[in-house]
Amino acid sequence: MQFMLLFSRQGKLRLQKWYVPLSDKEKKKITRELVQTVLARKPKMCSFLEWRDLKIVYKRYASLYFCCAIEDQDNELITLEIIHRYVELLDKYFGSVCELDIIFNFEKAYFILDEFLLGGEAQETSKKNVLKAIEQADLLQENIDFQMRLFAGSRDPAQRAGGNRTDINTIFIAIHTPPSASYSAVCS
């Protein structure tokens, strides 16, 4: 895989991971053009694109587009499944993930991605194992947070937990894909 982009329906970039060395200028150009191309496509259209000399595989989940660029010999369908597995991972981790979770905790989303894909190749495809690895590290964090709270006095848990979600006018629809369900993306 050459890169993975996550962007919203408004064309805002939410996550970018590049597995090939490119200059910032090129990255920006590719992102801009690709976001435009993908957003222009209609819902019932094919998830695969031939764009420049790359194969693009994209899928929309609620308000978020997941978009991967793969090489010529790579399998498009399995790339779709990579995207899907990533969504499942996010979903499990955040608990019914929505775009806002990814916006506010994008570093977490990156950690999960790194545990799932390494150097552009799927390294661990088991949901359980990926999350175990992430949670081990997180647990450490919780512990420190917890100690901090103990020593520094507690903060308001509600504020900590969600921020003020209603302030944000991004449309988000939670998706939940039980493992048995078929794989049609939920479109708003």
Q: Which of residues 149-168 bind other proteins (CB under 8 A)?
A: 157, 159-164, 167-168
Q: Between residues 55 and 188, which has the closer beta carbon with respect to other proteins?
A: 55
Which whole-number Å values give the CA distances from 26 to 2, 29, 32, 34, in the listed order?
13, 5, 10, 12
Amino acid of residue 179: P
Site string for other proteins, 100-129 (x = CB under 8 A): xx-xxxxxx-xx--xx--xx-xxxxxx-xx
Number of residues that bind other proteins (CB under 8 A): 84
Candidate residues 11, 29, 36, 52; the one interacting with other proteins per rule CB under 8 A: 52
Phi–psi pair at 154, nearest 5 degrees: -85, 150
Residues 6-25 that bind other proteins (CB under 8 A): 13-19, 21-24
Quote the least distance from Cβ 148 to other proteins, whole Å.
9
Burial (CB < 10 A; 0-12, 13-18, 19+), residue 39, is: middle
The yes or no reply on residue 39 touching other proteins (CB under 8 A) is: no
Quote the least distance from Cβ 69 to other proteins, whole Å.
14
Phi–psi pair at 119, nearest 5 degrees: 60, 30
C-alpha angle 187-69-109 in degrees, rounded to nearest 5: 65
- The Cα–Cα gap between 50 and 63 comes to 23
Nearest to 6 by CA among 110, 81, 85, 95: 110
Candidate residues 11, 36, 141, 187; the one interacting with other proteins per rule CB under 8 A: 141
Residues 75-104 that bind other proteins (CB under 8 A): 75-78, 80-81, 85, 93-95, 100-101, 103-104
